[in-house]
Structure 1
């Protein structure tokens, strides 16, 4: 029931008016011209945890140790009496003694009966605490979704623009692009749901199931911060892709050995030093031209604040990566 409907009902002196008011879920009080409480519905009694007999005839602004004694609210309700105006949706945020921090929208309207000169005021309270909280949460979710979609588009665009097309078939380009995109998505999912990720887990995730038995890891437990999960994952993905196409994973007996240590740097900074070494693969030589893969590895390492060195040893590629922790 809206304030206008309730006002008409009470103004008409309907015999069932009080019964209807008591069935309302919103707290309602009626004040006299001195702003004393003449009646209150059950919702008001229950919401503010008061006894009906204790509030009838009492000054509204003295109720609950003056919890409603708010200067602006007092002025607005007082102004209803001489002007026959209405106060609609005045927000009151207060730490109430019995119910804690709540937010109410207060409506007030003068009740003027045709058969008398009374100037009672109907006051209705709408608790919007949970509604506002849900609205704020929804706004945050929408804002966060937009932000992530914008970041996602930037990632997709960057991968698409920087995946080399020279001397490539459409199929080769598609597979390379989708592989990099999938690795990026997996890394972003880990970064979004965890404060840190285990280095060995990221490494094995980048390698993939078919060649997991030919990957040998050796190093202490290392947690990669969420801000560096993406660049570290992309580095391993590019090394894995290269190994599948041209290196150790391109032949049945090829192996990849990854060792890492934590080493002290300047000041209190610690560095992760990781060595990727391929063995038993085809002979390796320096590439005839710089490919996007090697450039991506170096650029991504720099993005994480580190460095990478690629050594094309004839017996297998060796990549040495250093990243500040």
Structure 2
């Protein structure tokens, strides 16, 4: 193929390309430039042909990274792919480009040219930066909203407590106290979940441990010697699952503190245990209190029981309860179809000195 026919062929090919593209000879002089290249980088087509690559645009293309790619990496590797370069052009400002280069061989023994493709990523990178900034602003705003929600819940809880202390009706006082405890538990769940969840999933045991520490400071009085222990698998769960499990634990801890240690047990212990294997998991909250008789327990239609069962149902789990003289054990189990691993994962209740531990029964 003659040099003129070769140049005509190159021009015809380049004219069909929509992306910025240059064809260079071995001396790195421009053989052809696509229309998109000239439009994108505001270059006159007449000022490109035959010009040294690094002299285009009055020296705008004398880019150190480009010299390295064309002068060293391309001869060594035969091709340059997806190399991102950022450069400030005098006429159009800062641009982010993805460069691809390779040798263009027309026929065996013929002289080779270099095909240089340039993809302008500037708008895409601006969109990405804008999106990242918006996400950061959203996180800041969400954190501020959660902080204000937490403060509002604390104020509401304090108002309920003051009202509970001032009313004369025992029934009203109990209702306000129960409402106060639940507001406190929701505030604790919200605070701990926000603190422990920078991403889509969190380590559940760490979250439950922080939650129980917050609960122990808010619902256990100085007159009660009650310890809360959190143990189990270091599994990660979604924030939605953690929120539901946290609300269950908060409700059960409140019930244990209020009802399990009413007969002078000075060394109360509440044990929260979460174990998981594959898709099966088991959450157990057990106490070594007096073992509340059914006649004194909240009725099965009570608000607390309804909350626990509704949350368990949302998780696709079942609730099992054992109450006796050794304490109360409540297990929430989730078993995948055809699996009985969750039943085997249920642990024993905490022991009192010299007394047998209550266990979960079917």
Q: TM-score, normalised on structure 2? A: 0.46
Q: TM-score, normalised on structure 1? A: 0.50
* Higher relative contact order, chain-length normalized (CA < 8 Å, sep 6+): 1
